[in-house]
Amino acid sequence: MNHKEFEILLEERFNKIRSILANKNKEYASGDDKLHNFKRAGDMLHCTQEKALIGMFVKHMISILDIVDKWEDAGTFPYMGQLEEKIGDAINYLILLEACFKERKFI
């Protein structure tokens, strides 16, 4: 991949991140609290919002690992739409994890 192609990939990813995090806010946040679901999950699981988020994040990483394994083991090229979605989900969860820490003044 050359520099120009990478810059295009990067810009497309940034646009997807902005769009998805804005749209999912309506679905997963409560009122003005972007982190509501993680706080609620943490309460239910008797853990921190960060650990609850990591539990949800792991699901996306397993999907990515399954895609990579399938490709490596069977030579089955991944469906790019699915791979792009899972990579985006993982990136978004890491951004949300950072938000959890920033909200609590850890960073």
Over residues 18-32, the pLDDT tens digits come to: 999 888 766 666 678
The pLDDT of residue 107 is 64
Instruction: Report which of 52, 33, 28, 34 is spatially closest to residue 42, judged by C-alpha positions.
Output: 52
Over residues 77-95, the pLDDT tens digits come to: 777 888 899 999 999 999 9
Question: How many domains does the chain fold into?
Answer: 1
Range of the domain at 34: 3-103
Q: Which of 48-53's residues contact partners 24+ apart within 8 Å by CB, and which partners?
A: 49/100, 50/97, 50/100, 50/101, 53/93, 53/96, 53/97, 53/100
Over residues 44-81, the pLDDT tens digits come to: 999 999 999 999 999 999 999 998 888 888 877 777 88
